[in-house]
Structure 1
Amino acid sequence: MISEATVRHLDRRLAGIQRDSRLPSVVAGIVRDGGLVWSRAIGTLDGRAGGEPADLDTQYRMGSITKTFVAVAVMRLRDAGRLDLEDRLEEHVPGSRLGGATVAQLLSHAAGVQAETNGPWWERTPGGTWEELAASPVVQRFRAGRRFHYTNVGYAALGELLARTHGASWFDVVRRDLLEPLGMTRTTARPSGKAAPGWAVHPFADVLLPEPEHDAGAMGPAGQLWTTVEDLATWAVFAGGDTGDVLAADTLAEMLEPHVVGDSPGQPWTVAHGLGWQVWNIEGRRLAGHGGSMPGFLAGLRVDLETGDGLVASTNSTAGPFGPQVGTLLTDFVEREPKPPEPWHAAGDPGLLELLGLWHWGPTVTMAKAVGDHLVLGEPGEGRGARFERVGPDEWRGLDGYHTGEPLRVVRRADGTVSHLDLQSFRFTRTPYDPEADVPGGVDEVGWS
């Protein structure tokens, strides 16, 4: 639930954004605990007083948020064993100058592929086929893997990969495998039902210019999709971890890891790109999602990966300070409606008690404790502190920082009691350099002196 005071505040805030940014119409929603807890539509579809009002079932073009759907469809192929992320594009889509780039590099914008097409402004003109786009020719601007370079063309290539692998258009794949299972019936490739027209607002006068809308053809996977605030909220819930039967939770987590840093000279690193998703690090909070823009439209989706709280928003205007302004809606919501802490319950495993307490890596003191099902050494996020998950009898695997994916083994004496912990060959002993614990390199016979 959300308080009436917070509802009134968010309503006023969104109305102010619509007025101050001179947006014909704007819709926004806040997601918590698996669904919309607040949503509102402000303005009219034609931007004029007395025009048809926008509502929660109005479609807006989501622009580059489309890329997240394409990326999830590609990762489903990987999980099904039909491709590997290290495969070269040439193995699946032969005949272009982009063939040396890997699937992973294309997903994370690390392939060095040119940003835009060579022909006319593709977002405002009808699109052609992949063969025409590849023959134009599209190329790599940088060595693959060297740096982050955002590329719409790279996602055209991934859309073609989907089409050739499935024997169906990229959108048919997305509709069948993602939209229909998630109940996103108002997300389409072209405007359907009640849909907002796209407008350019004059920078110096309160007048409007219609923006064209076309089928982008081969470039469609870069920004074609239309959606409503309610459907986009469903996708935000998905990004927050509720993937259902559509995608394995571990695969989504892999996609949301920062793979390539978005480096702007002179600026701190606050944004990175995962496999199809943008990832932000804002004052210690990790958020994921994507922005979108097409002529006549702006859109945004952000989810706090720790809490699952998220924001979705769309407008039918080409330009404006949309992202930063609507971002305040989520900030205000979290400040006014803090998520209550989960109650504590005794649910620990007594079998872990023999592993807990003080351990020593050489002379360094480390505390081991049990948190839920995890064994925790030190403080995750500080130094080499990490959580470990059990993978077998006396076998654990690291989940954080330096020890992510690395093995921890409990070594026992002949009588079954715990002798020491072996973490990537490092010995953790109950006393510093315990001579009875098989410390590599041995322990001086004289001992401490």
Structure 2
Amino acid sequence: MTTYQEALLPGTRRALLHRIALAQAEGRAPSLVAAVVRDGQVVWHGARASVDGDAPGETVQYRIGSITKTFTAVLVMRLRDEGLLDLSDALEKHVPGTGAGEATIADLLAHTAGLAAESPAPWWERTPGSLRPELSDVLGEQPLLHPVGRRHHYSNPGYTLLGALVEELRGAPWEEVLRGEILEPLGLRRTSAHPEPPHAGGWAVHPWADALLPEPLEDLGRMAPAGQLWSTTADLARFAAFLTRGDHQVLSAESVREMRTPAAPTEAADVAGGIAYGLGMQIQHRDGRLLVGHSGSLPGFLANLTISVEDDVAAVVLANCTSGPLPGVVAADLVRIVAEAEPLFPKPWRPLYDVDPAVLELAGQWYWGPHAFGLRASADGLLALGPLTGSGRRSRFRPNGDGTWTGLEGYYAGELLQPVRRADGTLSHLDLGSFVFTRQPYDTDAPVPGGVDPKGWRGMR
């Protein structure tokens, strides 16, 4: 049996270990652990320094901070998929009287609700949650800083409201719902709202001396849905696999794909960095890759979970210090190292099992005006449309069973592709959301909108 220590090439494993060793040493972290996931399985685990005198293994708990938000978002998406709410619902419909009720569920998930980033003083991450027993204590007297839905402004109190929404519709505490609906079905036995041994202690590292100060481990109370959880590299590896593929026990692949899709307006400062936010998930472009996941921090701890769906590689990085290493950068580097050193093999090409003459008739070259496109029928039963040269709009289309096709991505997502036939049954053109695709550029045998000059194509003298 191949173990995860053998799943990657020795050179790849050394490069991964070197990267976390550099992060731990330069970031001066008391300990740092990491894992890499491929094909849904842990293929590498590494640790530097120690917890209680031993190198931390993959079952040692660290606090994961705002990665908790992704768990809370999954609970909300489950409610949506069950028909108990719509993402366009105002919060007021389900949790009345908060003062922020005009914000929609989608606004709260994407941090576009206009709420403050933090709860009123004292600093909630370093004080007991008992100081904020009510939602009003979390939101303050003026919870809205910006117009609802107009800009992305990261908000911890927003996820407190989502936790309250879960409790209201499930009739049970957030922690209990989380355990029954996510942790147990996914087998995340070492993820919990409170630390369970073995776990790391949280430390602050003196900026000008190699000295440590223990950080308090507070119960966040009402703020728990925003950042309470403790977890391990092994459990977060399983969670990463779920966020890549979905799981019929928890949330479908289609719904987790929706979570990974940008849902918030991007701030000008984020455009250069290629950073966006979906529904409970951070999204960025780095090293030419689309990466999704979430970061987390609380006093004494740093965490990051990063996934490249296209490369089928995910990385988890956990450290027990308030500041120092940059786990998001480290995780992205771990993904890059594996993706570049051991790229995925393409799936074997397979021919069509059955050839449908009506589908085969659609395949080939088409023109939108003078722009040349190719339409290919693939063995997975889809049609793929793309420009023959240069860049342009691309999409795959799934059959609807009535001769029409629906776009799956990009500009044509959800748009209808309809073959249009002449009175004698021969194929005239394709209508794609009112765009006419013809077999020749501005084909005179097809009804081109605006008509075609009767003099046809000509030179210029």
Q: Distance in 2 between matches of 1:242 and 1:85?
A: 19
Kept in 2: contact 1:239–1:288 (CA 8 A): no
1:26 maps to what in 2?
32
Q: One-letter code of the match for 2:230?
A: W
Instruction: State the Cα distance separating 1:367 from its structure 2 match.
Output: 1.9
Instruction: State the Cα distance separating 1:445 from its structure 2 match.
Output: 5.2
Is 244-253 or 260-269 further displaced after alignment?
A: 260-269
1:156 maps to what in 2?
160
Residue number among 192, 203, 206 corresponding to 1:202 in the alignment: 206
Is 322-331 or 108-117 further displaced after alignment?
A: 322-331
Q: One-letter code of the match for 1:368?
A: L
| Aligned-residue identity in percent | 48
Kept in 1: contact 2:371–2:387 (CA 8 A): no
Is 241-250 or 105-114 further displaced after alignment?
A: 241-250
Instruction: State the Cα distance separating 1:237 from its structure 2 match.
Output: 0.6
Q: What's the TM-score, normalizing by structure 2?
A: 0.91
Structure 2 residue 16 is the aligned partner of structure 1 residue 14: no
Structure 2 residue 393 is the aligned partner of structure 1 residue 384: yes
Instruction: State the Cα distance separating 1:3 from its structure 2 match.
Output: 1.5
Instruction: State the Cα distance separating 1:280 from its structure 2 match.
Output: 0.9
Q: Distance in 1 between matches of 2:266 and 2:436?
A: 38
SS at match of 1:240: helix
SS at match of 2:158: helix
Is 380-389 or 76-85 further displaced after alignment?
A: 380-389
Is 37-46 or 70-79 further displaced after alignment?
A: 37-46
2:49 maps to what in 1?
43
1:439 maps to what in 2?
448
1:298 maps to what in 2?
302
1:375 maps to what in 2?
383
Kept in 1: contact 2:108–2:159 (CA 8 A): yes
Q: One-letter code of the match for 1:284?
A: G
2:4 maps to what in 1?
none
Structure 2 residue 97 is the aligned partner of structure 1 residue 91: no
Is 14-23 or 93-102 further displaced after alignment?
A: 14-23
Instruction: State the Cα distance separating 1:378 from its structure 2 match.
Output: 1.9
2:3 maps to what in 1?
none
Query: C-alpha deviations, 1:207-250, integer Å up to 9, x for none?
Result: 11111112111111110000011000001111212433311111
Q: Distance in 1 between matches of 2:22 and 2:445?
A: 70
Q: One-letter code of the match for 1:421?
A: L
Residue number among 268, 279, 290 corresponding to 1:286 in the alignment: 290
Equivalent residue runs for 1:3-402 within 5 Å: 3-45=9-51, 51-127=53-129, 128-133=132-137, 136-265=140-269, 268-323=272-327, 324-347=329-352, 350-351=355-356, 352-371=359-378, 372-379=380-387, 382-402=391-411
Kept in 2: contact 1:34–1:242 (CA 8 A): no
Kept in 2: contact 1:17–1:326 (CA 8 A): no
Instruction: State the Cα distance separating 1:193 from its structure 2 match.
Output: 2.2
Query: C-alpha deviations, 1:353-412, integer Å up to 9, x for none?
Result: 211112122333222222443212224993223222212221111123221111111122
Q: Distance in 1 between matches of 2:282 and 2:139?
A: 30
Is 415-424 or 115-124 further displaced after alignment?
A: 415-424
Instruction: State the Cα distance separating 1:132 from its structure 2 match.
Output: 4.3
Q: Distance in 2 between matches of 1:386 and 1:267?
A: 25
Q: One-letter code of the match for 1:94?
A: P
Kept in 2: contact 1:97–1:134 (CA 8 A): no
Kept in 2: contact 1:285–1:304 (CA 8 A): yes
Kept in 2: contact 1:27–1:314 (CA 8 A): yes
**Structure 1 residues 278 and 392, CA gap change in structure 2 (3 angstroms):** same
Kept in 2: contact 1:374–1:388 (CA 8 A): yes
Q: One-letter code of the match for 1:84?
A: D
Kept in 2: contact 1:408–1:423 (CA 8 A): yes
Q: Distance in 1 between matches of 2:385 and 2:140?
A: 55
**Structure 1 residues 93 and 134, CA gap change in structure 2 (3 angstroms):** farther
Instruction: State the Cα distance separating 1:302 from its structure 2 match.
Output: 0.5
Kept in 2: contact 1:28–1:314 (CA 8 A): yes
Structure 2: 5+ residue stretches without partners: 1-6
1:421 maps to what in 2?
430
Kept in 2: contact 1:130–1:160 (CA 8 A): no
Q: Distance in 1 between matches of 2:343 and 2:368?
A: 39
SS at match of 2:103: coil
Is 335-344 or 294-303 further displaced after alignment?
A: 335-344
Query: C-alpha deviations, 1:75-117, integer Å up to 9, x for none?
Result: 1111111101111111111112211111101100111100001
Q: Distance in 1 between matches of 2:399 and 2:311?
A: 24
Q: Distance in 2 between matches of 1:15 and 1:362?
A: 57
Kept in 1: contact 2:287–2:336 (CA 8 A): no
Kept in 2: contact 1:262–1:269 (CA 8 A): no
SS at match of 2:245: coil
**Structure 1 residues 11 and 445, CA gap change in structure 2 (3 angstroms):** closer
SS at match of 1:112: coil
Q: What's the TM-score, normalizing by structure 1?
A: 0.94
Aligned length: 445
Q: One-letter code of the match for 1:359?
A: W
**Structure 1 residues 58 and 400, CA gap change in structure 2 (3 angstroms):** same
